Amino acid sequence: MAKSKPRVKAPKKASAGDVVTIKTLISHKMETGLRKDKEGKIIPRKIINKFECSFNGASVFSCDILPAVSANPYLEFTMKAVESGEYNFKWTDDDGSIYEKKSKLTVA
Amino acid sequence: MMKIFGKVAAIVAGSALVATAAFAEDRKSYPAPKDHPLSEIISGYEFRTPETRALQDDDFENPAYILLDLGAELWSTADGAAGKSCASCHGDAAESMKGIGASFPKWSKERNKAITVEQQINICREEQMQADTWKWTKDPNMLGMTIFVKNQSRGMPIVLDNSPEMETVRKLGEEVYYTRYGQLDMSCANCHEDYYGNYIRADMLSQGQINGFPTYRLKWNGVGSTHRRFKGCMKNIRANPFKPQGEEFTALEAYMMYRAVGLPIETPSVRN
């Protein structure tokens, strides 16, 4: 798979005080940097090394990811819904590229 | 002593029977047409554990959706010397591919044989796009495209191509289905017709329906095609498997569609 495509499942609506579950997944081969190719040369490391989710600019959840994480990293976390706003999901790749996705939440 | 033991055994056996019957009633079944070998047609989904079903029920959790996304991307990506993509001829897949997954394999007059969705994809790639063909069973591109095409028929009941040629193909498929192969001397029917709903070691036998293929299989830790599954079954009975997309497996697939007639397409499903 050439391109990394982020996917997010987060509720669009919630009542104030609800704890909402957010699921994220990005397709990525997560090359560890420990494997060798047919000629015996090391395949360079290429993984998603950081994930961050912010809500209205404030960080909600973030983590560093290391080579032991398998392909297509899946992360699930919860957040207390207080106000309406917009999520911003950000994945950082070893090669410097950043994959982003946004999603809105309305708190009634 | 023997008497007491006998009584206990009878009670245990009795309760086991009740438990099996109650579980069997929970399975959603579809009525089989007249002269059909099965009394009721049941999707493989119904034989799986609640955890496996939950994976299939949630499109986000279903790991096969990564490949479906890839297929959707490839659909509109031009490839090959002709500079065409699937979309150049077929347009919007949601319209043009609707029902395809529920009706293949079909008879091809030009080729004088039955063709599957996978074969049709490679025919298009070779002749229309002048692109390299994809490998049959494990190539992510082939799997992604097959899932994408068949997914357009999700929820649609399986219908049959009733041409006399396809009847002949299905006859051959039936022969493959009921022939005992390999060192274990078993046919498909020995497990999937005679003993579905029973355990074979730790695994619950299903009717072997193919309405959810290509499927994400937990054992494979990945997605695989119908013919890969056929191959796996044949290896399990210690037989020499036929070639994927060869005449025998294509006929078997056509016959399996007859066995699944009326069952809705679930592609991409999750199985164990």
CATH 3.30.830.10 matches A6-107: no
Considering the domain boundaries, does residue B94 fall inside one?
yes
Burial tier of B157 (Cβ tally within 10 Å: 0-12, 13-18, 19+): middle
Compare all CA atoms of chain B with the CA of A26 and give the residue at the minimum distance: B66
Are B51 and B162 contained in the same domain? yes
Compare all CA atoms of chain B with the CA of A2 and give the residue at the minimum distance: B70
Are B137 and B163 contained in the same domain? no
Last residue of a domain, one of B96, B120, B151: B151
Give me the residue label for tokens 């796996």: B232
Contact B72/A at CB under 8 A: no
Return the pLDDT at B1: 46
The contact set of A with B (CB < 8 A) is 1, 3, 5, 7, 9, 23, 25, 27, 72
Residues in chain B closer than 8 A to A72 (CB atoms): 63, 66
Last residue of a domain, one of B131, B151, B171: B151
Are B179 and B129 contained in the same domain? no
Last residue of a domain, one of B104, B126, B151: B151
CB distance B230 to B249 below 8 Å: yes
Considering the domain boundaries, does residue B235 fall inside one?
yes
Are B146 and B172 contained in the same domain? no
The DSSP string of chain B is -HHHHHHHHHHHHHHHHHHHHHHHHTS-EEEPPTT-SSSEEE-GGGGS-HHHHHHHH-TTT-TTHHHHHHHHHHHT--BTTTTB-HHHHH--HHHHTTTHHHH-SEEETTTTEEE-HHHHHHHIIIIIS--PPPPSSS-HHHHHHHHHHHHTTBTPBP-----HHHHHHHHHHHHHHHS-BTTTTB-HHHHHTTSTTSEETTEE------TT-SEEETTTTEEE-HHHHHHHHHHHTT--PPPTTSHHHHHHHHHHHHHTTTPBB--SEEE-
Are B167 and B249 contained in the same domain? yes
d(CA B197, CA A38): 45
Mind listing the pLDDT tens digit for each residue in B46-80?
999 888 988 888 888 888 888 898 899 899 888 88
Which residue in the set A3, A7, A72 is minimally distant from B60, CB to CB?
Answer: A7
Mutate to test the interface with A, among B60, B68, B142 (most CBs of A within 10 A): B60
Are B171 and B229 contained in the same domain? yes
Contact B57/A at CB under 8 A: no
CATH no. for residue B134? 1.10.760.10
Return the pLDDT at B248: 92
Are B255 and B135 contained in the same domain? no
Range of the domain at B251: 34-62+158-271
Least confident of A91-105, B20-34, B39-53, B106-120: B20-34
The total number of residues written for chain B in this structure: 272
Mind listing the pLDDT tens digit for each residue in B128-169?
888 899 999 888 999 999 999 999 999 999 999 888 999 999
B141 vs chain A: nearest CA distance in angstroms?
9
Return the pLDDT at B11: 47
Number of folded domains in chain B? Answer: 2
Residues in chain A closer than 8 A to B65 (CB atoms): 7
Are B180 and B58 contained in the same domain? yes
* SS3 assignment, position A58: strand
Residues in chain B closer than 8 A to A23 (CB atoms): 60-61
Which residue in the set B60, B61, B140 is minimally distant from A1, CB to CB?
Answer: B140
Are B40 and B76 contained in the same domain? no
Answer yes or no: B124 catalytic: no
For residue B168, the number of C-alpha atoms closer than 13 Å in the C-beta half-sphere is: 8
Q: Do B73 and A7 touch (CB under 8 A)?
A: no
Are B130 and B173 contained in the same domain? no
Residues in chain A closer than 8 A to B73 (CB atoms): 3
Considering the domain boundaries, does residue B10 fall inside one?
no
Q: Do A72 and B60 touch (CB under 8 A)?
A: no
Return the pLDDT at B8: 47
Contact B222/A at CB under 8 A: no
Mind listing the pLDDT tens digit for each residue in B176-232?
999 999 999 999 999 999 999 899 888 899 999 999 999 999 998 889 999 999 999
Q: Do B60 and A27 touch (CB under 8 A)?
A: no
Confidence at B25, pLDDT banded by 50, 70, 90:
low
Which residue in the set B61, B65, B70 is minimally distant from A1, CB to CB?
Answer: B70
